[in-house]
Amino acid sequence: MTQNDPRQTPLAQSLPATVPFVAPERMEELRGAAFDARLGANELSFGPSPKALAAMQAALAGVWKYGEPENRDLRLALAAHHGIAPEEITVGEGIDGLLGNLVRLYVNPGEAVVTSAGSYPTFNYHVAGFGGVLHTVPYKGNFEDPEALIAKAQEVGAKLVYLSNPNNPMGSVHSAETVEAMIEAVPEGCLMVLDEAYTEFAPARSRPELDTSDRRVIRFRTFSKAYGMAGARVGYGIAHRSVAQSFDKIRNHFGVNRGAQAGALAALADQTYLAQTLERVAEGRNRLAQIAQSNGFVPLPSASNFVTMDCGRDGDYARALVTALDSHGIFVRMPGVAPLDRCIRVSVGLPEELEIFAERLPLALADLA
């Protein structure tokens, strides 16, 4: 138990010392052995473009220099890629870092924020860290419920309302029309946070056209997922320039290091490799769906780089299965909130990792029989 330091702010003293996710490396340390299949963190086991790796390696010689604080070259490249102005883009240390800055920018202690119960927990972590009051609404089946989110935002006078599309942890995705309707319904004084971390894996029809004239929404994207650079920590926000440029007031201007900047630039330029990655992920999702069905599970339709599998039981059973898989050298995760916690979530890994999972899942299930 962490002892409070009376010199800290009352808010800081009221918070638990916590990390939203336990690293697989820490789990391996506790179990005394490495995982044979690392399928729990939605990382891209294929890795980034070789051109990105080469760019990062070349950048190491200049590691004695600070990264460019405006991320200018990367913002220019992203602007050209998306057909918008560089002033409508902010770059940060992954979407996680950007979410923290967003909450700091918009939420005073005691002000309301709305999200879905069981959705991405790091957003909730930042809301608590800045003293916001989190209000949640349940999923509607396997989907976040845009109408309920907006209704709750109106009810509580929310400053921010969060939607991930595609969704983590369920893999579900709403159509562009549904997302556009939610943006149109955002109440006065509220900003919609559209987390599109997995958007490259999803059908194009799930992405509304970029409209940076709209002050009601900020969209976050990342190099962690489809571009395979989770460890580099590079994400970006797309918004009206008055929103995007406001991040310069508070952000860590040297937060994205030189190597990460170089790697993201090279990864963005290699769209051929990205297309190959998307094909491999689609094949992996199909294989995971087959594995789920052959073991009596229901694979949920996925627009991400993971497949969420409905175990057909309750959260206690799913937690026991995650533990059993751990004992067989398989790292997976699961949703943390009922009724979503009836599922396990399995990332697309290398083909050999998926076959290890296929071989050992029946063994783990036998342990629970």
Is the residue at 7 inside a domain? no
The rounded distance, in Å, linking the Cα atoms of 244 and 146 is 24
Q: In degrees rounded to 5, what are phi and psi of residue 36? A: -85, -20
3-state SS of 226-293 is CCCCHHHCCEEEECCHHHHHHHHHCCCCCCCCHHHHHHHHHHHHCHHHHHHHHHHHHHHHHHHHHHHH
Q: Which domain holds residue 166?
A: 50-269
Q: Are residues 94 and 107 in the same domain?
A: yes
Q: What is the pLDDT of residue 19?
A: 79
Q: Spell out the per-residue pLDDT of the chain, length 369, in tens.
A: 567 899 999 999 999 888 778 889 999 999 999 999 999 999 999 999 999 999 999 999 999 999 999 999 999 999 999 999 999 999 999 999 999 999 999 999 999 999 999 999 999 999 999 999 999 999 999 999 999 999 999 999 999 999 999 999 999 999 999 999 999 999 999 999 999 999 999 999 999 999 999 999 999 999 999 999 999 999 999 999 999 999 999 999 999 999 999 999 999 999 999 999 999 999 999 999 999 999 999 999 999 999 999 999 999 999 999 999 999 999 999 999 999 999 999 999 999 999 999 999 999 999 999
Name 15's Cβ contacts closer than 8 Å, sequence gap at least 6. Answer: 128, 129
Angle at 94 between CA 88 and CA 97, to 5 degrees: 90
The rounded distance, in Å, linking the Cα atoms of 294 and 183 is 40
Pairing of strands 37-38, 330-331: parallel
Q: Are residues 160 and 255 in the same domain?
A: yes
User: In whole numbers, what is the pLDDT of the chain averaged over residues?
Assistant: 97
Q: Are residues 322 and 264 in the same domain?
A: no
Q: Are residues 175 and 285 in the same domain?
A: no
Under a CB-based contact definition with an 8 Å cutoff, are residues 110 and 75 in contact? no
The rounded distance, in Å, linking the Cα atoms of 19 and 95 is 16
Last residue of a domain, one of 269, 303, 334: 269
Last residue of a domain, one of 201, 235, 269: 269
Is the residue at 231 inside a domain? yes
Is the residue at 10 inside a domain? no
Domain total in the chain:
2
Q: Are residues 144 and 33 in the same domain?
A: no
Q: Are residues 130 and 237 in the same domain?
A: yes
Q: Are residues 238 and 305 in the same domain?
A: no
- Count of alpha carbons within 13 angstroms of residue 24, beta-carbon side: 16
Q: Are residues 170 and 294 in the same domain?
A: no
Q: In degrees rounded to 5, what are phi and psi of residue 123? A: -60, -45
Q: What is the pLDDT of residue 238?
A: 98
Is the residue at 2 inside a domain? no
Q: Are residues 210 and 305 in the same domain?
A: no
Is the residue at 9 inside a domain? no
Q: What is the pLDDT of residue 183?
A: 98
The rounded distance, in Å, linking the Cα atoms of 103 and 109 is 10
Instruction: State the residue for tokens 């991040």.
Output: 247
Last residue of a domain, one of 211, 245, 269: 269
Is the residue at 13 inside a domain? no
Q: What is the pLDDT of residue 15?
A: 92
The rounded distance, in Å, linking the Cα atoms of 200 and 212 is 19
CATH of the domain at 264: 3.40.640.10
pLDDT, one tens digit per residue, over 196-227 is 999 999 999 999 999 999 999 999 999 999 99
Q: Are residues 219 and 277 in the same domain?
A: no
Q: What is the pLDDT of residue 17?
A: 87
Q: Are residues 199 and 336 in the same domain?
A: no
Give the burial string for 135-171 (b: 16+ CB within 10 Å, else e): bbbebeebebbbebbbebbbebebbbbbbbbbbbbbb
Q: Are residues 284 and 243 in the same domain?
A: no
Name 78's Cβ contacts closer than 8 Å, sequence gap at least 6. Answer: 86, 89, 91, 236, 268
Is the residue at 11 inside a domain? no
CATH of the domain at 356: 3.90.1150.10
Q: What is the pLDDT of residue 22?
A: 87
